[in-house]
Amino acid sequence: MIFIAIQFLQPARNKSGQVMPTDISRTVPVSPAVSALLKTGCYDCHSNNTNYPWYATVQPIGWIVNGHIQKGKAELNFSEFGSYTIRRQKSKLKSIANQVNDNSMPLASYTFIHKNAKLSKEDKALIIDWATQTNEAISTKQ
């Protein structure tokens, strides 16, 4: 009974359906290859557009998924990257390189379910190089 009842309590969907002017792709150069990796590997939790799996409509899974998204977006939101200060943009790029390098991100629990989000050695190198170079290219002068 409770299970059926909670199905009516759907959390708001994280789907703006548009590319914001503050999106990272409009802030710094992002190659199509890197962009594709970010979209499949990171955007579900780190942007305003989540590609929901079907079971996210089943509660309480949907609530758990929603919690992860809120936490992920607070940490880093690629859709709002352009609104960060230059100093913070640089910090985030540095953290992206670090987290991908030591396999902290994408989360193992996420890639376990989303097999296509698992980064190969080449994928990792691509993201790390991009993040490092972009970080160096951003001038600290404002």
Residues in contact with other proteins by CB under 8 A are: 84-88, 91, 94-95, 98, 102, 104, 142
Q: Could you give the C-alpha distances from 129 to 93, 126, 138, in angstroms and in order?
A: 10, 5, 14
Min CB(44)–other proteins separation in Å: 22
CB 74 to other proteins: min, Å: 10
CB-nearer residue toward other proteins: 40 or 98: 98
H helices, E strands: number in the chain: 7, 0
Shortest distance in whole angstroms from residue 47 CB to other proteins = 19
User: Residue 39 or residue 68: which is nearer to other proteins going by CB?
Assistant: 68
Which sign, positive or negative, has the C-alpha torsion 27, 32, 36, 38?
negative
Phi, psi (5° rounding) for residue 15? -150, 95
Nearer to other proteins, 46 or 49 (CB): 46
